[in-house]
Amino acid sequence: MTIEYTGIVAIGDPHLASRGLGVRKDDYPRVALEKLAWSLRYAREHALLPVLLGDVFNFPRDNANWLITNLLALLDGEVLSIYGNHDCGPIGRLTDDDTLQILVESGRLTLVSEEAPWRGRMRGRDVVVAGSSWGTFIPQAWTRDPGATVIWLTHHDITTGAYTGTLKPRELPGISLLINGHIHTPSPAVVCGQTTWMTPGNITRVARAARHIDRAPSILRIDVSFAGVAPRTVGLPHQPSSEVFHERVDATDLPDLSKSEFADRLRRRIEQRREGGVNLMRFIEAHESDLEPEVFAEIQSLATEVVSNA
């Protein structure tokens, strides 16, 4: 049966995993899967086309069979996606060795791109949904579908809100709305001519930084009509941070380290991997202020992967 969609739901970076995260004390694999399930259920109930903004998985490979089995059952309708940096192995693009490719090859997930856009009609309007996955170019303009509402999905390092990325929003003629994953903190929309850039944030809290810990996970609903597109945020059920994260260690309890000393201590902490990685993650977060935001984010991401593989 063909669904007459009324719009889309953008689901930011689920970061699904079959192993727990060092900073969280809850059952993260179950919680993350439930958040994706809630988002997809919301999309079905409101006749909205669900789209994933990349980083479907927290680790690109070696995800447990139970997680894949549950996803194959969960993705029981049309779902569009792009891939993110966490979905890719070491070469930086999706391959047959990556877990996400199983969902694509099974037909449960449809990757959209500049070469393979989705086209359809929503409330009498022609709509195009395309995207630029991690490491692929964002087009300067879109001229193939004149008169259509073009929605572009990205997973890029884009300047948004207080975050300074390598790409800055600009007008992209022919593209009405650009929705970016990758950046986990939601920020206000940026209007550049006829193109509106949006960053909804991700649906799971994988870091304990102050800008993440107390925010409410949400999805982005885009209703389509003859008047155009109407975005609004929809909150997801979630627990308070005190029920989710381990307690933070006060930075005054740790020695004052220079950046070079920090790197040396970090290396030793990774090698030790004590207490399931909790001490490592506490140590890193206590020294967040010593590092540039993007450097801190990369160190935290790498440490999380090391801890989860321990």
Please write the tens of the pLDDT for every residue from 136-165: 999 999 999 999 999 999 999 999 888 888
Please write the tens of the pLDDT for every residue from 158-196: 998 888 889 999 999 999 999 999 999 999 999 999 999
Q: Does residue 200 sit within a domain? A: yes
If asked whether residues 121 and 12 sit together in one domain, one would say yes
If asked whether residues 45 and 66 sit together in one domain, one would say yes
Under 8 Å between Cβ of 291 and 2: no
If asked whether residues 187 and 260 sit together in one domain, one would say no
If asked whether residues 206 and 176 sit together in one domain, one would say yes
At 207 the pLDDT is 82
Q: Does residue 241 sit within a domain? A: no
Q: Does residue 96 sit within a domain? A: yes
pTM reported for the whole predicted model: 0.81
At 249 the pLDDT is 61
Q: Distance (Å, rounded) from C-alpha 71 to C-alpha 65?
A: 10
Q: Does residue 125 sit within a domain? A: yes
Which tokens belong to 107? 């037909």
Under 8 Å between Cβ of 110 and 118: yes
If asked whether residues 26 and 128 sit together in one domain, one would say yes
If asked whether residues 170 and 112 sit together in one domain, one would say yes
| Torsion, Cα of 248, 251, 253, 257 (10° steps) | 130
Residue that is last in its domain, among 235, 261, 295:
235
At 275 the pLDDT is 46
Number of domains in the chain: 2
Q: Does residue 240 sit within a domain? A: no
Under 8 Å between Cβ of 249 and 286: yes
Q: What is the mean pLDDT of each successive set of 10 residues along the chain, which is 310 residues long? A: 88 96 91 98 98 97 96 96 95 94 97 98 96 97 96 95 89 98 94 97 85 83 94 94 78 55 63 53 62 64 58
Which tokens belong to 108? 């449960």
Residue 7 gets which letter from DSSP? Answer: E
Residue that is last in its domain, among 235, 255, 289:
235
Residue that is last in its domain, among 235, 258, 274:
235
If asked whether residues 185 and 261 sit together in one domain, one would say no
Question: What residues make up the domain containing 11?
Answer: 7-235
